């Protein structure tokens, strides 16, 4: 029977742990996450349902199982039984059933296939519960239990072996030489000293090499000393998405420790949302103090260069709408920066109905775009985004996240939609003024 008619399994599993061992591993991880903030959030929910209307998966399917707070049920049950103020009574009287392997298997779909950790539900919650953060914490337990989608597990193993999901570090010089030759722009690699350490997302080392070349074009224009380095170059951080804390720490440290080694004061992140979440906002927890380097997203970098007059751009003179990447805008705060860059490009911005902090996710974040099983849900979300883009009547669709760009391109291909998604970085590089 063809794969087109064979239903995909509802869950995947890795390793040879017994089912009871998987449950114990997951619950043990959950309990370690139950600090004061997590406890307050789990106690605070009043089941109002407002988070449902904030979730693109619920809105596009109408299926109540996609209500964000319901995705936390095994985590909540573990909290009530193991760490809540009445946990001994709850266990003794059997008031809350212990999560079982069936719960965790069902949960895999809910927190990996139908949650991008976009944070829109967090923004909507009247009690201030950070549902997206709780899902991320829950993924730590699922990884410990060996219950994550196989495709994400494969990427995890690749990154553990290579330090990147794209390529081993020793191959980076050859890849950069090829990109340099293809696009006619010098790309330094492994300099012993540099002011800026430049990092990449996997796609920039493959199908989107123009973005990497355009970053090099701009950096060479402003005359700074910069380099990429095989000891730390991939900023996408699959460990952040998967719940693999050990890998997340290793990949983050590779960037920062490499920057320190070469004397760089700045780590420049690519157009990648989860790179920003992992490196900009979570790196300090591995060091226990203020970071010795500045970590900055490409959008911030472009905004600052334009504001300081270090680069100028020729006006494009067309209308555009902007897709706000969740990790960069809603979770990261860079709502105004991208819009200032678009203004500098002379573009007339026509906002989507939901934009900025309330913009809907592309549908592929949090590893969902890499999860084949989630493709039908992704396509439903894309139809909503497509309708919002078309309603603006804008000539161009722009974003500042490579992962969003890939997700939107995949959605457009599936929907036979002819509008392309453009990179903010590439627009700036293509229109640099002499």
User: Is the domain of 137 the same as that of 180?
Assistant: no
CA distance 362 to 430: 25
Give the range of the structural domain holding residue 46, as residue numbers without chain letter. 19-148
Q: What is the pLDDT of residue 1?
A: 37
Question: What average pLDDT does the segment 130-159 reach?
Answer: 95
CB-count exposure of residue 19 (10 Å: 0-12, 13-18, 19+): middle
**Residues 175-210, buried b or exposed e (16+ Cβ, 10 A)?**
bbeebbeeeebebbbbeeebebbbbbbbbbbeebbb
CB 271 within 8 A of CB 304: no
Q: Residue 30: inside a domain, yes or no? A: yes
Nearest to 344 by CA among 428, 218, 430: 428
Q: Residue 11: inside a domain, yes or no? A: no
Per residue in 283-331, pLDDT (tens digit) is 888 888 888 999 999 999 999 999 999 999 999 989 999 999 999 999 9
Q: Residue 7: inside a domain, yes or no? A: no
Residue 19 confidence (pLDDT) above 50: yes
Which residues in 47-101 belong to E strands, given as ranges? Answer: none
pLDDT band at 103 (very low <50, low <70, confident <90, very high): very high
Question: What average pLDDT does the segment 156-168 reach?
Answer: 94
User: Is the domain of 281 the same as that of 322?
Assistant: no
CATH code for the domain of 395 = 3.40.50.1860
How much of the chain exceeds pLDDT 70, in percent?
Answer: 98
User: Is the domain of 183 the same as that of 115?
Assistant: no
pLDDT band at 5 (very low <50, low <70, confident <90, very high): very low
Q: Last residue of some domain: 120, 148, 176?
A: 148
**Residues 47-64, buried b or exposed e (16+ Cβ, 10 A)?**
eeebbbebbbbbbbbeee
User: Is the domain of 175 the same as that of 299?
Assistant: yes
Question: What average pLDDT does the segment 216-239 reach?
Answer: 96
User: Is the domain of 327 the same as that of 254?
Assistant: no
pLDDT band at 337 (very low <50, low <70, confident <90, very high): very high
CATH code for the domain of 75 = 1.10.1060
User: Is the domain of 270 the same as that of 187?
Assistant: yes
Q: Residue 9: inside a domain, yes or no? A: no
User: Is the domain of 167 the same as that of 292?
Assistant: yes
Q: What is the pLDDT of residue 347?
A: 97
Per residue in 43-67, pLDDT (tens digit) is 998 888 899 999 999 999 999 999 9
**Is the backbone of residue 18 left (phi > 0), alpha (psi -120 to 50) or beta?**
beta
Question: What average pLDDT does the segment 323-345 reach?
Answer: 96
CA distance 62 to 66: 8
Q: Last residue of some domain: 258, 273, 305?
A: 305
Phi, psi dihedrals of residue 393, rounded to the nearest 5°: 70, 10
Q: Residue 71: inside a domain, yes or no? A: yes
CB 198 within 8 A of CB 225: no
Per residue in 179-219, pLDDT (tens digit) is 999 999 999 999 999 999 999 999 999 889 999 999 999 99
Kind and range of the H or E run holding 151? helix 150-162
Q: What is the pLDDT of residue 9?
A: 55
Q: Residue 157: inside a domain, yes or no? A: no
Question: What average pLDDT does the segment 64-91 reach?
Answer: 92
Q: What is the DSSP string of 216-241?
A: HHHHHHHT--EEB-TTS-B-S-HHHH
User: Is the domain of 179 the same as that of 137?
Assistant: no
Q: Last residue of some domain: 277, 305, 333?
A: 305
Q: Residue 275: inside a domain, yes or no? A: yes
How much of the chain exceeds pLDDT 90, in percent?
Answer: 87
Residue 2 confidence (pLDDT) above 60: no
CA distance 413 to 111: 26
Q: What is the pLDDT of residue 286?
A: 85
User: Is the domain of 112 the same as that of 177?
Assistant: no
User: Is the domain of 201 the same as that of 300?
Assistant: yes
Work out how many domains the chain is built from and give that number. Answer: 3
CA–chain centroid gap for 244, Å, is 14
CB 183 within 8 A of CB 67: no
CATH code for the domain of 282 = 3.40.50
Residue 8 confidence (pLDDT) above 60: no
Q: Residue 121: inside a domain, yes or no? A: yes
User: Is the domain of 137 the same as that of 215?
Assistant: no
User: Is the domain of 168 the same as that of 144?
Assistant: no
């Amino acid at each position: 029977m063809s794969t087109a008619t064979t239903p995909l399994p509802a869950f995947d599993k890795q390793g040879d742990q017994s089912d009871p061992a998987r449950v114990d591993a997951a619950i043990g991880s959950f309990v370690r996450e139950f600090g004061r903030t997590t406890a307050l959030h789990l106690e605070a929910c009043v089941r109002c349902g407002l988070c449902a209307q904030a979730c693109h998966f619920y809105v596009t399917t109408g299926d109540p199982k996609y209500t964000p707070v319901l995705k936390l049920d095994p985590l909540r049950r573990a909290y009530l039984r193991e760490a809540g103020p009445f946990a001994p009574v709850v266990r003794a009287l059997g008031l809350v059933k212990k999560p079982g392997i069936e719960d965790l298997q069902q949960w895999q779909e809910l927190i990996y296939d139908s949650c991008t950790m976009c944070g829109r539900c967090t923004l909507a919650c009247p009690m201030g519960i950070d549902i997206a953060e709780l899902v991320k914490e829950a993924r730590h337990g699922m990884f410990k239990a060996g219950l994550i989608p196989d495709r994400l597990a494969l990427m995890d193993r690749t990154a553990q072996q290579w330090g990147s999901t794209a390529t081993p570090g020793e191959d980076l010089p050859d890849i950069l030489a090829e990109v340099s030759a293809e696009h006619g722009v010098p790309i330094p690699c492994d300099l012993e000293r540099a002011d800026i350490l430049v990092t990449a997302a996997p796609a920039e080392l493959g199908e989107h090499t123009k973005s990497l070349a355009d970053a090099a074009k701009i950096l060479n224009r402003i005359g700074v000393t910069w380099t990429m380095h095989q000891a730390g170059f991939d900023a996408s951080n699959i460990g952040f998405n998967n719940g693999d804390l050990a890998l997340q720490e290793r990949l983050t440290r590779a960037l920062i420790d490499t920057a320190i080694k070469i004397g760089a004061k700045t780590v420049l992140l690519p157009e990648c949302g989860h790179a920003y979440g992992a490196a900009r906002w979570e790196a300090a927890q591995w060091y226990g103090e203020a970071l010795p380097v500045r970590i900055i997203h490409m959008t911030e970098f472009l905004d600052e260069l334009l504001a300081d007059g270090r680069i100028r751009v020729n006006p494009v003179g067309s209308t555009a709408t902007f897709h706000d990447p969740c990790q960069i805008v809603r979770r990261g705060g860079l709502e105004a920066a991208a819009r200032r860059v678009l203004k500098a490009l002379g573009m007339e911005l026509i906002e989507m109905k939901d934009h900025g902090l309330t913009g809907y996710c592309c549908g592929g974040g949090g590893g969902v775009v890499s999860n084949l099983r989630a493709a039908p849900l992704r396509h439903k979300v894309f139809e909503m985004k497509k309708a919002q883009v078309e309603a603006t009547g804008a000539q161009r669709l722009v974003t500042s996240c490579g992962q969003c760009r890939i997700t939107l391109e995949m959605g457009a291909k599936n929907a036979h939609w002819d509008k392309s998604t453009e990179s903010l970085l590439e627009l700036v590089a293509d229109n640099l003024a002499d």
